[in-house]
């Protein structure tokens, strides 16, 4: 079983994330309700389970919230990130200090529900692509501050990550083209910059393809093209560079788009529009 800490990029500071999220939820006064109603030494056993079919992402991150407030909490992990599980599946069993568990509950669940929502929607897109052969990519359409986690969740759902930041991929989009004075000039300038990065350029018309390739583009993003246009582009490029289809992709169209022969299909919806899934924590006196 692979731990999330081995998969999330090392630039993500889990301890800092947990501290910031707990501070947001607990404020300066802490969980006043639990302090008022529960004895300091009371203990609870709990089961965390999903109430609908999901793909899991963020389970080890949820565990980190409980451990942050109770270093002695006993946790039995019964599933792993990337698992597709049925409704009613128990993900964790916990036994620890009741006040601490209740204080950590919402932060842990919010994170796990959100990330598992992304993973679950992503898997639906992967399934919809089916045998089309194209690879599903995420985008930079993420909640500010949560990109590393959301892209991690997309990987758990079966997608591949597109560029993580603006400095690890050179992507010339329509506004760059407009300012640079055309596709050819934009690509030539990017190649001349000698960044060491592959140059990808967005094209939205078939006639721009040869222009981009002649200037040295290493990869093309075919923006908002119909399946017929995508098939024409695939035939024209004939394997010279990888092709990525983007724009207007949804669950009804992704299979058709993937079947055109493009290398990649990028979908902003998997991080931008994924709904949180239903996961709960149910308590019983230990």
Q: Domain locations in the chain? A: 4-120+274-285, 160-266
Once rounded to an integer, what is the mean pLDDT over residues 196-217?
97
- Catalytic amino acids? 106, 141, 173, 202, 223
pLDDT score of 1? 38
> Is the pLDDT score of 3 beyond 60?
no
Bridge partners, 77 (sequence order) = 92
> Is the pLDDT score of 153 beyond 80?
yes
How many other C-beta atoms can be found within 10 angstroms of the C-beta atom of residue 126? 17
Read off the pLDDT of residues 222-270 as tens digits, 9 standing for 90 and up. 999 999 999 999 999 999 999 999 998 999 999 999 999 999 999 999 9
State the residue for tokens 């999220």.
21
pLDDT score of 132? 73
What is the value of pTM for the model shown?
0.94
How many other C-beta atoms can be found within 10 angstroms of the C-beta atom of residue 38? 16
Q: Give residue 141's pLDDT band: very low, low, confident or very high (50, 70, 90).
A: very high
In contact, 204 and 225? CB cutoff 8 Å: yes
CATH of 4-120+274-285, one of 1.10.357.10, 3.40.50.2300, 3.90.1170.20, 3.40.50.1820: 3.90.1170.20
pLDDT score of 7? 62
Read off the pLDDT of residues 175-188 as tens digits, 9 standing for 90 and up. 999 999 999 999 99
Residue 174: C-alpha distances to residues 177, 181, 182, 213 (Å): 5, 11, 9, 16
State the residue for tokens 């991080």.
271
Residue 119 buriedness (CB in 10 A; 0-12 / 13-18 / 19+): buried
For the domain covering 160-266, report its CATH number: 3.20.20.70
- The Cα 39–Cα 207 span in angstroms is 72
> Is the pLDDT score of 104 beyond 70?
yes
Residue 143: C-alpha distances to residues 3, 24, 271 (Å): 24, 17, 8
Q: Give residue 66's pLDDT band: very low, low, confident or very high (50, 70, 90).
A: very high
In contact, 5 and 148? CB cutoff 8 Å: no
pLDDT score of 73? 97
Once rounded to an integer, what is the mean pLDDT over residues 128-154?
94
**What average pLDDT is seen over the chain?**
94
Task: Using only the alpha carbons of the chain, give its radius of gyration.
Answer: 23
Read off the pLDDT of residues 106-122 as tens digits, 9 standing for 90 and up. 999 999 999 999 999 99
- The Cα 168–Cα 144 span in angstroms is 18
Once rounded to an integer, what is the mean pLDDT over residues 58-86?
97
């Amino acid at each position: 079983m692979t731990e999330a800490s081995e998969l999330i990029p090392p630039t993500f500071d889990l301890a800092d994330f947990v501290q910031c999220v707990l501070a947001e939820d607990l404020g300066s006064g802490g969980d006043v309700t639990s302090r008022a109603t529960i004895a300091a030494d009371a203990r609870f056993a709990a089961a965390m389970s999903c109430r609908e079919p999901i793909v899991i992402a963020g389970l080890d991150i949820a565990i980190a919230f409980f451990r942050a407030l109770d270093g002695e909490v006993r946790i039995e992990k019964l599933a792993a990130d990337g698992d597709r599980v049925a409704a009613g599946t128990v993900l964790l069993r916990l036994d620890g200090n009741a006040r601490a568990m209740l204080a950590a509950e919402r932060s842990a669940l919010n994170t796990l529900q959100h990330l598992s929502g992304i993973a679950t929607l992503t898997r639906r897109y992967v399934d919809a692509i089916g045998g089309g052969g194209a690879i599903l990519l995420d985008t930079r359409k993420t909640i500010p501050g949560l990109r590393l986690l959301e892209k991690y969740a997309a990987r758990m759902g079966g997608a591949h990550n597109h560029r993580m930041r603006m400095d690890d991929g050179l992507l010339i989009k329509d506004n760059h083209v407009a300012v640079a004075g055309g596709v050819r000039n934009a690509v030539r300038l990017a190649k001349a910059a000698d960044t060491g990065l592959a140059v990808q350029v967005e094209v939205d018309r078939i006639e721009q393809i040869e222009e981009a390739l002649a200037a040295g583009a290493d990869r093309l993003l075919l923006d908002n093209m119909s399946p017929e246009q995508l098939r024409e582009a695939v035939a024209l490029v004939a394997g010279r560079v990888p092709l990525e289809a983007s724009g207007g992709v949804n669950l009804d169209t992704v299979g058709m788009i993937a079947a055109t022969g493009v290398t990649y299909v990028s979908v902003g919806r998997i991080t931008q529009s994924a709904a949180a899934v239903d996961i709960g924590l149910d308590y019983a006196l230990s």
